[in-house]
């Protein structure tokens, strides 16, 4: 076995990935794949927890997500990309974990509470959605991962994973290691173009990695800024202003960005000028991603091969993990 630390991360295939995904974890995956043993999961089963009545939505998005992975530079020769639904051992492990966590504890999970509110579930929460932190714990531990690149909003999920791991090890003996969250250094969560706390497809406030140049330009020019900055001559606020948050995240000319901030703060700088510069910055960032995406999207056979091979490789590991788990529990009489 490699002595490199093991990383497990993934995304729910409900549509193309956006800049928030890149900031939250994609950039870390690209950076660390050459120094760590990395597994990236397409969480198609988890996506069904709130899309059970529309499975075609998930099916249609699987290869879009895979294309986004390849487009940003995730290399299938360095990173094992796999489909969650191809690893039945994950669901088996999740079943064992469900006996180690209470419904009350799941209901207190801040991430789950936020997502329940966002989806408007109220009292009609699908059971699969409520327990998906348990399934996520199984996703992580099925390959005995040590690091999980996530945004700050996902920290409660890692905490819950470690609670489950500690409970399992205490009852059945030491089988799993606890995991560490890997938070991006520069920005762990990208706000939406409308100023909302989180970029999200459901909130219609996202810029996608696959958006063409015209679409990006229109979204940038329509971005929320400082609502009190009514005239160019007015002093404006930089804090909480999405345009400047995006410049800090994706811009490379830090002196120019600081000059724009100073000018905007004292007044005399219009929003349009700043937005035009942000558009230049984002177009420069996204152009090579669009180019790589086009190189792969015409080769469906290659995409299927990458996903099939990665899933087969992880299934072999998962079988070994489940064997250890059943031995630890004592389920070895058949």
pLDDT digits (tens, 9 = 90+) for 24-35: 889 889 999 999
pLDDT at 188 over 80: no
Q: Mean pLDDT, to the nearest integer, of 202-221? A: 95
Residue 124 confidence class, pLDDT cut points 50, 70, 90: confident
Q: Which residues are registered as beta bridge partners of 11?
A: 42
Share of the chain above pLDDT 90, in %: 75
CATH no., domain 213-293 = 1.10.240.10
Residue 186 confidence class, pLDDT cut points 50, 70, 90: low
pLDDT at 1 over 70: no
Q: What is the pLDDT of residue 187?
A: 61
DSSP secondary structure string, 251-312? ---HHHHHHHHHHHHHS---HHHHHHHHHHHHHHHHHHHHHHHHHHHT-HHHHHHHHHHHHH
Residue intervals in the chain for CATH 3.40.50.620: 6-190+300-329
Q: What is the mean pLDDT of the chain?
A: 92
Distance CA 71, CA 291 (A): 8
Question: What are the helix (H) ranges across 73-205?
Answer: 88-98, 103-108, 110-119, 127-130, 132-141, 155-172
Q: Mean pLDDT, to the nearest integer, of 107-119? A: 77
- DSSP state letter for 18: B
Q: Mean pLDDT, to the nearest integer, of 162-188? A: 90
- Fold observed for domain 6-190+300-329: Rossmann fold (3.40.50)
Q: Mean pLDDT, to the nearest integer, of 172-179? A: 96
Q: Which of 83-87, 176-180, 202-206, 289-293 has the lowest mean pLDDT?
A: 202-206
Measured between its terminal Cα atoms, the distance across the chain in Å is: 29
Phi and psi dihedrals of 147, rounded to 5? Answer: -130, 145
CA angle 153, 155, 159 (to 5 degrees): 150
Q: Mean pLDDT, to the nearest integer, of 79-104? A: 96
Question: Which helix (DSSP H) or strand (DSSP E) does residue 9 occupy?
Answer: strand 6-11
Residue intervals in the chain for CATH 1.10.240.10: 213-293
Q: Mean pLDDT, to the nearest integer, of 272-294? A: 97
Q: Mean pLDDT, to the nearest integer, of 59-72? A: 96
Distance CA 216, CA 207 (A): 7
């Amino acid at each position: 076995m490699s002595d490199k630390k093991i990383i497990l991360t993934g995304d729910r295939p409900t549509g193309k990935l956006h800049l928030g995904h890149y900031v939250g974890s994609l950039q870390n995956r690209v950076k660390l794949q050459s120094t760590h043993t990395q597994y990236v999961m397409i969480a198609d089963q988890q996506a069904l927890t709130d899309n059970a009545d529309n499975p075609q939505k998930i099916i249609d998005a699987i290869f879009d997500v895979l294309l986004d992975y390849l487009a940003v530079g995730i290399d299938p020769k360095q990173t094992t990309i796999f489909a969650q639904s191809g690893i039945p051992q994950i669901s088996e492990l999740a079943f064992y974990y469900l006996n180690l966590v209470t419904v009350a504890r799941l209901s207190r999970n801040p991430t789950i509470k936020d997502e329940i509110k966002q989806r408007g579930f109220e009292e009609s929460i699908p059971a699969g959605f409520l327990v998906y932190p348990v399934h996520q714990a199984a996703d992580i531990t099925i390959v005995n991962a040590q690091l999980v690149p996530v945004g700050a909003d996902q920290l409660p999920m890692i905490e819950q994973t470690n609670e489950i791991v500690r409970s399992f090890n205490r009852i059945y003996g030491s089988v799993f290691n606890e995991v560490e969250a890997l938070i991006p250094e520069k920005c762990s969560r990208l706000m939406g173009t409308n100023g909302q706390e989180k970029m999200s497809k459901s909130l219609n406030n996202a810029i996608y990695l696959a958006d063409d140049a015209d679409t990006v330009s229109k979204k940038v020019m329509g971005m929320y800024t400082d609502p009190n900055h009514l005239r160019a001559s007015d002093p404006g606020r930089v804090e909480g202003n999405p345009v400047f948050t995006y410049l800090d995240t994706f811009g490379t000319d830090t002196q120019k960005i600081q000059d724009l901030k100073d000018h905007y703060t004292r007044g005399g700088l219009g929003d349009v000028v700043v937005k035009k510069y942000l558009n230049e910055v984002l177009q420069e960032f996204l152009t090579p991603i669009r180019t790589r995406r086009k190189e792969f999207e015409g080769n469906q056979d290659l995409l299927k091969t990458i996903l099939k091979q990665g899933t087969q490789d992880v299934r072999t590991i998962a079988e070994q993990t489940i064997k250890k788990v059943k031995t630890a529990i004592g389920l070895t009489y058949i």
